Amino acid sequence: MKTAKSITIAFLIITSFSGSSRDVFAQDKLVTPPSEILGQIEKINGNDMIDRLANQRVAFNKNRLKNVIPKAEYLINRNNLTLISFNGLDYYVKNNRVIGIRGLNLSDSVLDQITAKLVLLDSIQFEQSERLNNEYTMRNTDVKKIWYINRQFMLTLKMLSSTVRDIAAFTKNENPSLTVELNVTKMRSPNVNKAATNQDMQSLVSLLK
């Protein structure tokens, strides 16, 4: 009788341990996709890329005759699994969506909100870069239009940089996953046009003083 009872207890312990192992493994898969272990993932420094896009445009604007027109590039819009680092956080991106952040256990809802913010800004900066390039190649170049689009392009990159910086700041806590979950929902949706208008108004006010 004691032997049968001992076997039953041992079976329950093993079953429980196996279930816990499966849960831990499942969490590890969310944090570190198998493809990264196999080396089948592209890695990008997102902060360096933002700086490069801005610096290329500044250099071109200073002397258009001696510089090649900067190519419009996406940061987030990628089909293959890519690891993009922003402010110390590694974002796993695939099919133009943030599917996870290394070390954080985030809900699909929060990942969707992060995706919406980053993809919106990424698509705007890409579109503005293309618009600038098209304007430069036109016979009758509109200098004022170029100035305004360029202003929006730079502002979009700045907003993208501040957005990922704010998300990274949420992780400086004892419970980073929970803090990100709670604070991302409170972040406002980026509005480049409104921000550009506010900047123009501030510039006008400073000129009138």
Tell me if 68 is assigned to some domain: yes
Tell me if 152 is assigned to some domain: yes
Q: Does the pLDDT value for residue 201 go beyond 90? A: no
The predicted-structure confidence for 133-168, as pLDDT tens digits, reads as follows 998 888 787 888 999 999 999 999 999 999 999 999
Sequence-ordered list of residues with C-beta below 8 angstroms from that of 88, at least 6 positions apart, any chain = 168
Tell me if 38 is assigned to some domain: no
Tell me if 5 is assigned to some domain: no
Q: Please tell me the distance from the alpha carbon of residue 163 to that of residue 23, in angstroms, as a whole number.
A: 32
Tell me if 3 is assigned to some domain: no
| Total domains in the fold of the chain | 1
The predicted-structure confidence for 6-38, as pLDDT tens digits, reads as follows 444 444 444 443 443 333 333 333 444 544 444
Q: Please tell me the distance from the alpha carbon of residue 192 to that of residue 202, in angstroms, as a whole number.
A: 15
| pLDDT attached to residue 17 | 37
Tell me if 154 is assigned to some domain: yes
The mean pLDDT value for 168-192 works out to 88
Tell me if 9 is assigned to some domain: no
| Structural domain boundaries enclosing 52 | 47-76+105-208
Tell me if 2 is assigned to some domain: no
